Amino acid sequence: MASIDYIVRSGGPLAGTITVAGDKSISHRAVILSALAEGRSEITGLLEGQDVLGTVAALRALGVAMEGPREGRLMVDGVGLYGLKAPVGVLDLGNSGTSMRLLAGLLAAQPFGTRLVGDESLMRRPMERVAVPLRSMGAVIETGEGGRPPLYIVGGRALRAIEYRMPVASAQVKSAILLAALYAKGRTVVIEPAPSRDHTERMLAGFGYPVHREGATITLTGGAGPLHPVRLDVPADLSSAAFFLVAASIVPGSCLRLPRVGMNPTRRGVIDILRAMGAQIEAQNETTASGEPVADLVVRSAPLRGIVIPRELVPLAIDEFPALFIAAACAEGTTVLRGAEELRVKESDRLAIMARGLASLGVAVEEYPDGLDIKGTPLKGGVIDSGGDHRVAMAFTVAGLRAADAIEVRDCGNVATSFPGFVACACAAGFNLEVNAP
């Protein structure tokens, strides 16, 4: 990944209409399920970030023909549930934990073996959480030292249905089990301890495959029929929009409009948390797109206050906490987060790296095993090492809008994994942002 640094300074109000990138979670799933459908599917609004392109490349290596993506449009000639081919060599999934975990479920059921690797960051991330339930279904999966990648998946194993009570809420683990369950004999039942994003269940139903949900229990019967091709429009990514929701909230006089943002109830915790802090966020033109609720979001600057974040909202905002931590640093009073130990096993240890970065900017922050206490403090300038974490990099770029002096955010190349148009959107909104690249 190229060494890219951002330098951001405070400036005037933010204004305008900003169209953020397509939803990353939905894009991954759209590509995978289109590949398993019987016939040609058309995806529009696809995120062309490196993570999703890694999923596209992996499925091409597995024998799926595709045209694009170009300007968010991808045509996929699905091979059906039983049409994937053995790849030549390993599947390198770059920085994408979503790709590795979801494809592990799919590949556990194939007649051929596969080896999954990634970049330095991905090779440090835990994979036993997905390997354990897949092994209970009959899969043979070997992980590396400490339960981390590489993954070696032995082919030719007949899978059986299971009832699995998830120890922690994880959409990636749930989705891996459901993908494997398409091939398993019998009825697979997954029980969630708390809601996690439900894009896989919604999308399977959209492809014509029956999935039943009752409360916290999801049921899928293997061999219940083929997946039918679809035309699918991916909404704008709420996780990407979160940086602009926070930015407009903390910069006085700002007003931004963000069209067609995904408003899935299992994803909108960030909006609920920001509103509880006093943010002025209005949802307009609410409708649905390909089974997902969407709306235009209008956010205006407002004084924020510290809150105790409700634990039930934590899994519904898990990817948005780097942005929320910046909101907390700019709020009056103290924001308290607990129950977020999952943040320690993302692209970086997001609790530790955000705490260090905030402290270096003069913020009073206390770190706990499962959260942070952040006391709103005037921000000073400084140099932040993002650790190659795309969401950390974007979060501290937003922090620069309120800092007394410039903030230099280093190692921002991985922003392209989830939001390749971030700099263009930020500059269009009014960020005083400079990019240093070789």
Phi and psi of 397, rounded to 5°? -65, -40
User: Which residue is it, tokens 């602009």?
Assistant: 244
Single out the catalytic residue among 23, 233, 237, 319.
319
How are beta strands 292-300 and 280-289 bridged, if at all? antiparallel
User: Which residue is it, tokens 């951002």?
Assistant: 6
Q: Is 319 a catalytic residue?
A: yes
Q: Are 50 and 416 in contact (CB under 8 A)?
A: yes
Beta-sheet strands, E only, within 301-422 = 334-336, 364-368, 371-375, 382-385, 407-410
Q: Are 402 and 375 in contact (CB under 8 A)?
A: no
**Pairwise CA distance, residues 318 & 311, whole Å:** 11
**Pairwise CA distance, residues 431 & 10, whole Å:** 8
Amino acid 68 reads: G
Tokens describing residue 39: 């016939």
DSSP output for 202-258: HHHHHTT---EEETTEEEEETTS-PBPP-EEEPPBPHHHHHHHHHHHHHSTT-EEEE
Name the residues annotated as catalytic.
319
